[in-house]
Structure 1
Amino acid sequence: MKHEQSIHNKNALKPYKQAISRYIRSAMVLKGMKYDQLSERLLDKGIDLTSDNLRSKVSKGMFSADLLVAIIDILQVEEVAMSEILKLID
């Protein structure tokens, strides 16, 4: 892939990353869950991430699809997550 295409893709995906970050943070607030609690719940599923690492990933909106699905599962928002994330895209 050419460098300018990579930059174009990065810019095109930015609203999605921001929407995912906003949604995960708001879902955590609504569920009363802190990053350390989310980290513990992920560890229960065999996913070992520190709360700082998790906070960084959520802040940047940079996580794999499988981690996103695990977080959505833990937060128990699977029925509304995708539609709510898509509503947040600018």
Structure 2
Amino acid sequence: MNQDQSIKNRHSLSPYKLAITRYIRSSLALKGLKYDDLCELLQRKGITMTPENLRSKTHKGMFSADLFTAIIDVLELEEDALKTILKEAKSA
């Protein structure tokens, strides 16, 4: 892939990244959780992350699909996560 296409892809994906970032942050806030709590929940699934690393990934909206799925699982958000994120991304 050439550089121009890579830039176009980044631009096209940015509404999704922003929606994911907002969703994770708001979900943590609504549940009264902090990144330390999220780390602890992930640790129970055998996933070791630091709060700083999770904060950075959330800020950038850069999650691997498997980590994002694990976060949705441990926060018990599987019922509406994708629907809410897609709605937010489409409205951006």
1:30-81 deviation line (CA, Å, top 9, x unaligned): 1111100101111111111100100000111001000000000111110100
Correspondence for 2:53: 53
Alignment match, 1:33 = 33
Letter in 1 for 2:47: I
2:56 partner letter: S
1:87, CA displacement in angstroms?
Answer: 1.4
Q: How many residues align?
A: 90
The corresponding residue for 1:16 is 16
- Give 4+ residue runs of structure 1 displaced > 6 Å after superposition: none
Please provide the CA RMSD for this pair: 0.6
Matched, 1:72 2:72: yes
Percent identity among equivalent residues? 59
TM-score (norm 2): 0.95
Q: TM-score, normalised by structure 1?
A: 0.97
| AA of the residue aligned to 1:7 | I
| SS in structure 1 of the partner of residue 49 of structure 2 | coil
Q: Any unmatched runs of 5+ in structure 2?
A: none
Unaligned runs of 5+ in 1: none
